[in-house]
Amino acid sequence: MAEKKKFQAIKGTRDLLPPETELWNSVEQTAREVFGTFGFGEIRPPIFEPTELFARAVGGETDIVSKEMYSFEDHGSKGLTALRSLLLTPPRSITDQQSMWLYECFLLDFLSQLDLAMQNQTISKSPENLRAQQDLSTLAGELSQTRLRYSETNSGTDSEMFNKRMRKVSIFVLLINMGDELALRPEATASVCRAYIEHGMHALPQPVKLYYMGPMFRRERPQKGRYRQFYQIGAEVLEMVPPNQDPAKNIGKDAAVDAEVIEMVMAFFARLGLEGVKLEINSIGDRDCRPKYVELLRAELLKVKDKLGPDSQRRIETNPLRVLDSKLENEQGIIAGLPKIADHLCANCAGQYAEVKRQLNMRGVAYAENWRLVRGLDYYMRTTFEITALGLGSQNAVCGGGRYDGLVELLGGPPTKGIGFAIGEDRLILSLQEAGKGGAAQGRDVFVAWMGEKAQATAIAAAQKLRAAGFRVELPPVGQKFGKALGQADKLGARYALILGDDEVATGQWTVKTLADGSQTKMSEAEFLEMLRKGL
C-alpha cells in the first residue's frame, strides 16, 4: 500500500481561504478603483525573470539578492545538475584505480545526459557549449588511457596526470551554459522597468503610470507579518527624460509627481479605513551628494565602531546607511549623534525635498520627517517614504517607496525618471482585521429547497435565472425533505429559502421563506426577482 504522505503548505507560505479572501478581493478592487482615478493602468509581469535583472536592479549586496532569492537554472535535468556538482568539486587527488574508474563513469554519464539534453534542446547547442562538449569528450578519452596506463605502471606520474586532467574537466564543465539563471521575483519594480524598456513605453505619452498586484518571494525568517510568499500592491510612474534635457531641471515637477503618488496611497488607505496610518518621509540625496554623506557617515561610525553590534560593524563597510535602520536599544544614543543627511543634501536635492513637503501640505497629506529612513533596496534616491499602520507589532511597515531616477537606464533603457511604492498586502489585511474590518462570511441570497423530479427542472431554471441576475444561489444536488433543507439554508446564512415542490411547479406560485423571521409568502418568479433586486 502506498505510504500516506501528509502534504503541508511550505514554511512561510499559506493558504488564503474564504471568508478572508473576500477581504483580499475587496482591498484589491479598491486599489483598482482608486489607482484608476489617478490614471494608472494595470501591468501583470511574469512571476519569474532572469536572476541578473534583480541582481542589477535591487543590488547584489542587498540581503534580498544575496540571501533571499529563490533562484534556479532553467533546464529540466536534475541528474545533470547533480553530476555537474560532482565534477565541479573533484577529490584533491585520486590514487586508486577504483576511484579513477568511478570518476570516469560520472563524466561519461554527464556527457551522455548532456548529449540527450542538447538533442532535446533543453540545453542550448551554442558554439560555446558544443566546443566544451567536444573538449570534455576528448578529456574523457585521455582520462581512460591514463587510468589504463596507471593500472600497468602504478607510477606516480600517471596518477598525477590523471588528477591534472580531472581538474581540467571541472574547468570545461563550468564553460557549459546549462540554462538561464532564473529567480522568483522578490519585488516587481525591476520587472516594471524591464517591461517599460521591452515594450518601448518611452514612446507613449509620458509619464507612464502602472500598478501591479501579486505574490513576491523572499527566503526570510517567517513570523507574523513576514512570509516567504507574500503579496504586494504597487505602482510606478516612469517618465523618459527627453534628450538634452538636464535631469536636474524640473525639480518642482518631480516633487509634484512624488507628492501625488504619496497622496494616492494615502487616499487608498483612507478609503479602506486603515487605522493609525503614519507617513514618514526623507530625502536620501542623489549620486552627487549621497556618496559624500555616506563617506562622512562611515568616518563617524568608524570612530564609534567598538560600541556597535556586529551587524552595524559589518555595515560600516558594506552599507553605512543601513546602520541608521538599527533597532538595537544600545545603538540608539550613538545614532542620534550621527550627521544627518538633510544637512548634507546638494542644492537640487534640498530644493526638491522642500518642494515635496510643500506639495504634500497643499494636498492635505500629513507626514512626519524621519532622517533615519533609508530603504533596503539600492535603487532609491531623493524622496523616500514609509507608511506604518496599527496592530502589526514589530513588522508595522505597510508601504515603502521612493524615487529611482536612473534605474531604467541601469537596465539598458533610455534616461528615465521613476517613483513608486510597494504595499505589503498581507500586513494591510492584518491591520484591517485587527481593527475589526475582517471579511464577512459569504452567505447566500437564496437557498433552493426542492423535492421531486418535476421540481428539480424548475429549481435548475430558477437557479440559472437568479444567478444570471447576480444573486448568490445554493442549489442542492439532490432533493431533500424541506425540514432538512431549511436547516442547511440556515447554516449557510441564506436570506431566503425558495421552496419548490409539486404544488409550486403546478401553480407557478413559489413559496418564499425569509429566514431571519421565519415568515413565508407565495409569489411569482417575477415578483421574487423584483423583491431581491430591491434588496428587501
Q: Which of residues 264-283 bind ligand AMP (CB under 6 A)?
A: none
Q: How many residues does the chain have?
A: 536
**The one among 90, 400, 420, 439 contacting ligand AMP by CB under 6 A:** 400
Q: Does 398 bind ligand AMP (CB under 6 A)?
A: yes
Which one of 403, 417, 427, 513 is in contact with ligand AMP (CB under 6 A)? Answer: 427
Check residue 84 for interaction with ligand AMP (CB under 6 A). no
Residue where the block lists cell 548529449: 115
Contact status: 426 vs ligand AMP (CB under 6 A) = yes
Q: Which residue is nearest to ligand AMP (CB)?
A: 424
- Comparing CA positions, the residue from 160, 265, 256 lying closest to residue 207 is 256
Coil, strand, or helix at residue 474? strand
Stretch that binds ligand AMP, among 144-152, 194-202, 222-230, 320-328 (CB under 6 A): 222-230
Residues in a beta bridge with 411: none
Instruction: Give bridge partners of residue 483 from the DSSP assignment.
Output: none
Q: CA–CA distance from 433 to each of 46, 278, 396 (Å)?
A: 30, 18, 14
Q: Which of 49, 104, 158, 187 binds ligand AMP (CB under 6 A)?
A: 187
Nearer to ligand AMP, 400 or 413 (CB): 400
Are the CB atoms for 381 and 284 separated by under 8 Å?
yes
| Residue 230 binding ligand AMP, by CB under 6 A | yes
Q: Strand, helix or coil at 420?
A: strand
**Rounded least distance, CB 60 to ligand AMP, Å:** 16
Interface with ligand AMP includes 58 (CB under 6 A)? no
- Which one of 89-97, 218-226, 315-323, 506-514 is the stretch in contact with ligand AMP (CB under 6 A)? 218-226
Phi, psi of 363 (to 5 degrees): -90, 0
Q: Are 254 and 351 in contact (CB under 8 A)?
A: no
Query: Residue 514 is placed in which grid cell?
Result: 425569509
232 binds ligand AMP (CB under 6 A): yes
- CB-CB contact of 463 with 475 (8 Å): yes
Q: Where does this chain touch ligand AMP (CB under 6 A) — which range of 42-50, 340-348, 421-429, 525-533?
A: 421-429
- For residue 189, the minimal CB distance to ligand AMP (Å) is 8
- By CB under 6 A, tell whether 284 contacts ligand AMP: no
Q: Is 202 in the site for ligand AMP (CB under 6 A)?
A: no
Question: Does residue number 424 form part of the binding site for ligand AMP (CB under 6 A)?
Answer: yes
**C-beta of residue 496 within 8 angstroms of C-beta of residue 512:** yes
Of 483, 481, 514, 509, the closest CA to residue 497 belongs to 514
Closer residue to ligand AMP, CB minimum distance, 406 or 424: 424
Residue 439 found at the interface with ligand AMP (CB under 6 A) = no
Three-state DSSP class for residue 283: strand
Report if residue 390 touches ligand AMP, rule: CB under 6 A. no
Taking contact as CB under 6 A, which single stretch among the options 192-200, 221-229, 461-469, 522-530 is the one that binds ligand AMP? 221-229
226 part of the interface to ligand AMP, by CB under 6 A: yes
Q: How far is CA 51 from CA 82, 98, 238, in A?
A: 21, 40, 23
Name the grid cell of 131.
Answer: 566546443
Count of residues interacting with ligand AMP (CB under 6 A)? 17
Residue with cell 425540514: 483
Q: Taking a C-beta distance cutoff of 8 angstroms, is the pair 296, 344 a contact?
A: yes
What whole-number distance in Å separates Cα of residue 62 and Cα of residue 48? 19
**Residues 397, 435, 529, 531: which binds ligand AMP (CB under 6 A)?**
397
Backbone angles phi, psi at 180, to 5 degrees: -70, 145
Q: Is 389 in the site for ligand AMP (CB under 6 A)?
A: no
Q: Which of 218, 322, 403, 444 binds ligand AMP (CB under 6 A)?
A: 218
For residue 75, the minimal CB distance to ligand AMP (Å) is 29
| Nearer Cβ to ligand AMP (218/495) | 218
The CA-CA-CA angle for residues 33, 36, 38, to 5°, reads 120
Question: Could you tell me which residues come within 8 angstroms of residue 246 by beta carbon, excluding any fewer than 6 positions away?
Answer: none
Residues that bind ligand AMP (CB under 6 A): 187, 218, 220, 225-227, 230, 232, 376, 397-400, 422, 424, 426-427
